[in-house]
Each structure stands twice: as C-alpha cells, then as structure tokens.
Amino acid sequence: MSSRALILGIGGQDGAYLAQLLLQKGYEVHGTSRDVARTPFYGLKRLAIQQDVQLHSVNMTDYGNLLQTLSIIDPSEIYNLSAQSSVGLSFAQPTETLNSIANATLNLLEAIRYLKRDSRLYNASSSEMFGDSDGLPSNEKTFFRPHSPYGIAKSTAHWLVESYRKGYNLFACSGILFNHESPLRNKRFVTKKIVKTAVAIKLGENQRLKLGDLSIVRDWGWAPEYVEAMWIMLQQEIPEDFVIATGKGTSLQDFTSSVFGKLDLDWRAYVEHDPDVIRPYEIKYTVGDASKAAKLMGWTARLMMPEIASKLVEMELARQKTGTTEEI
C-alpha cells in the first residue's frame, strides 16, 4: 500500500508543491484548511492536482477537531504548514498569529502523543526566528532573536517540537526555511508584488511600485526545491532540525533590478519609496547556512538569484498574457 500523508495547511504555496511531489511519489495525500468550502486552493488548481487530494476542514486551535481528524486519516507522515503566514500582518494580528502557530502546534503534538501511532511529523519553522544575523549566515546552532510576533510564534513552536521529540520520543523535526519563491506565492509578499507590477508595466499599464527599505538582504530560494527537503527530512533514520537555504544573500534593490531588467525596464523610473510599508521592527540581513542539510541529507539549493527572478518574470508574463485567474 502507498504511504498516506496529511498536509496541514495545504492551501498555500508550499502545500501545493508538496502535494504534487507526494502524489508523484505514489502517496495518498490528504490536506486541510480551516474551511474547505471557502478556501480557493489556487495552488492546487494551478498545478491541476486538486482532484487527486482528499480535503478536510480542520481548525487546529480546536484540539478535539484535530484529534478526530488524525485518528480517522491515520497518516504515516504529517506536514505542519498551517499558520497565519505573513510577517507584516503578524504586527496587526499578534494574538491570531500566536494562536495559529504556537497553540496549534502544541495541539498537534499532543494529539500525536495521545494517539500513540508512528506518524512522522515535519514542522515548518522559519528564518524569521533568527532575527537580524549581523551579516553572518545562520545555522542550526544560531541563537533565536525574533523581531516579529510571527518570529516569536515560530520560535515557540520550534522549541515545542524539540521538547516533544526529546521528552516523548516522537519522530518530529523542523525545517528552518529561508525565503523561497514561486509563481504560487501569495500576492501579499513583496517578491510577488514586484514581479506582478513590473510585468503589468511592461504590458502597458500605468503603474507605480511602492517599496520600503531597499537595502534589506534576504536569502531567496525556489519553493519546489524546498518542499523536497521537507520530504527528505522525514525519510531520515533519526529526526533532526535542518536549515534550508541557498546561502546567498540578495538585497531587495538587486532583486527589483533583476526583475525589471529581465523586462528591459529601468526600475528607478517606476519605484517609489513608501515608509508606510516598512515593518515596525525590520530585519536588515538574513542568510542561511544549509551545510548540515548538504552533509546529512544530500540536499543543496540548485536555483539561485537572479535565475529565480528570471523564472518568476517569465511565468508571470505568460500568466498575464493569457489572462490566467489570479489568486485570491
């Protein structure tokens, strides 16, 4: 029989690509969102796999609902991708952010412990836990200094996973993923905003792009590669946490320049500085060191900037020209 996987929070970018990967590997794939009837599942539709996934409505802050779902599905692998995922929005909705990440993860760990089954758990941690790394790459031993409610919530969930792994001998691990992009990225994220606006300008629309601090540096990778790392983590003999990153930093200005340059446009003619979009406590520099993943799992990032920017532009250009429906 094929393995059975449960992707909690399948409605986002990573959930869609992970579902595609697992289906290709012969898994029976189940996925959740808070309300299946109201979730658009844009990514699953774009990848043409929604009909191949069994979908369930689950509120992860409701322990009984979560426990019942796990008991019925009985997955061999669980991928916890469910959460309020916007760093910027976490400043406006800190309580929801903490509940959807930290409390939800605690409920999940308790449900796995209570059921006493052999499910393997992948938990989505985040580079936001490190905060500003002072120009140095972050690895699994780097201290957490989160700058946002999102980073604080992810740090809490991360330590909960480690505590249950060591205290209750669960096969539970966390992937500390740095920024990773794709055409399925939600339009709330700055990379999607830049690409979408630049392509619209190229196609003749009269638009301006408002950005905050262009000097910030991020480690941008390719999302389909990063979900491969999630799966590989659960195939290891011993559960461990891994940083997943390219190891290369790119400023927001260089990313913007690459996107506009791909379209033969000068970004400086279309970009305006907007202090209102700067976060209350911004991270200036964050780059990851994924050498442990390379050594123990054989995983390394293949696509780097500006190749990623180029692929995003090409795919968005094709989308806008054909009028493919945008995500909600």
Question: What mean pLDDT, rounded, does the chain reach?
Answer: 94
Q: Among residues 17, 150, 164, 226, which one is catalytic?
A: 150
Q: Span 189-212, mean pLDDT?
A: 94
Q: Among residues 90, 126, 148, 258, which one is catalytic?
A: 126
Instruction: Please count the residues of the chain.
Output: 328
Which pLDDT does position 326 carry in this prediction? 60
Which pLDDT does position 173 carry in this prediction? 98
Cα separation, 305 vs 262, in Å, equals: 12
User: Which domains are present in the chain?
Assistant: 4-180+222-244 (3.40.50.720), 187-219+248-286+304-322 (3.90.25.10)
**Catalytic-residue membership of 226:** no
DSSP 35-76: -TTT---HHHHHTT-GGGSEEEE--TT-HHHHHHHHHHH--S
Q: Among residues 27, 85, 100, 128, which one is catalytic?
A: 128
Cα separation, 91 vs 4, in Å, equals: 36
Which pLDDT does position 328 carry in this prediction? 44
**Catalytic-residue membership of 125:** no
Q: Which long-range contacts (CB under 8 A, 24 or more apart) does 314-318 make?
A: 314/262, 315/183, 316/183, 316/195, 316/196, 316/199, 317/199, 317/202, 317/203, 317/263
**Catalytic-residue membership of 128:** yes
Which H or E run contains 198?
helix 190-202
DSSP 91-153: HH-HHHHHIIIIIHHHHHHHHHHHHT---EEEEEEEGGGT---TTS-B-TTSPP---SHHHHH
Q: Span 102-122, mean pLDDT?
A: 96
Which pLDDT does position 325 carry in this prediction? 61
Which pLDDT does position 2 carry in this prediction? 65
